[in-house]
Structure 1
């Protein structure tokens, strides 16, 4: 375990904290916890690359921590009635497929596709969509719907990259 991996693990620990804060009526504070998770994601990635601390464990746990945090946030928003069921279902289908597919291929010895600029942009857009929803800003659900659709483009790019590095 190195510092970037410890930061990644901390994101897993922030999930129940987010839930506790969100469901006790402190949605803005919960968004702050989500931002803290996002900041640790940026820092752990930076430290891992800069100091050559990229590990196979970190490469697998980092996107899992991100996905589980975002799934937690989306479930919370869905339960709170902030986003439509259909869009949430499409989001869950895409993310569950990515998690299951990654695990399936990882345990078969396939190489993991590292995060790319398109994936990072998609993550940023999810954070922005949650911000719009949290503060009930105009076009929040429409933007969230756009981001969910855009995430499928990211998935397609990852699939091509996966095929390329594992051929």
Structure 2
């Protein structure tokens, strides 16, 4: 009885810890979301140095809050959802802002911004469908997905630098086309992985039904 009560207490404590919204890593994540408007204002006013520093600070805080959560046992369900939302908010805002001509020497092509936004929307729809239809709750990012996100960050940084200093045009152009290739490849990869996840989930349900009827 004592052991059962202790076990239940440990489970309750773990659940409460995982659900806690106000942790230092989550506060840092919220701060990262709060600096997004400063990026937009900096680009609109032609202050690409400030915009670049905003991007760097966002990247550093992204790495720091994740490390802190793992190192000091501050991981939470709220943080697991909040962190990718903050990342997407910055990337989408930066892509859209740098696509709009506001006197910049170099802008992100409209076709690339549309393709990147469509990919993110497609992924959200796929994840939602997998959850609602197949009850698949865990859909970790692939290597191609991470590479695409990394290339988005590099592209944003290169465009900002190209508006700060003289840079050969082939450098941002190479970033644009490499981003295009990765977006396409990661899109097809998500389709393939989704089909595999569905097959595994259905097979597990079928095996469970067979075991129950045996």
Same fold flag (TM > 0.5): yes
Shift in CA distance, 151/118, structure 1 to aligned 2, threshold 3 Å: same
Where does structure 1 lack aligned partners over 5 or more consecutive residues?
A: none
Give the corresponding residue for 1:126.
152
Match of 2:176 among 136, 144, 160: 144
Does 125-134 or 22-31 show the bigger shift?
Answer: 125-134
| Deviation for aligned residue 1:32 | 1.0
Does 150-159 or 31-40 show the bigger shift?
Answer: 150-159
1:17 aligns with 2:55: no
Structure 1 Cα separation of the partners of residues 161 and 177 of structure 2: 17
1:95 aligns with 2:129: no
Shift in CA distance, 66/82, structure 1 to aligned 2, threshold 3 Å: same
1:62 aligns with 2:93: no
| Deviation for aligned residue 1:65 | 1.0
Shift in CA distance, 157/63, structure 1 to aligned 2, threshold 3 Å: farther
Q: Determine helix, strand or coil for the equivalent of 2:97.
A: helix
Aligned-CA RMSD value: 2.8
| Deviation for aligned residue 1:84 | 1.5
Assess if the C-alpha contact under 8 Å between 1:59 and 1:112 holds in 2: no
| Deviation for aligned residue 1:26 | 0.4
Structure 1 Cα separation of the partners of residues 110 and 157 of structure 2: 19
| Deviation for aligned residue 1:56 | 1.8
TM-score between the two structures when normalised by the length of structure 1 = 0.81
Give aligned pairs, total.
Answer: 167
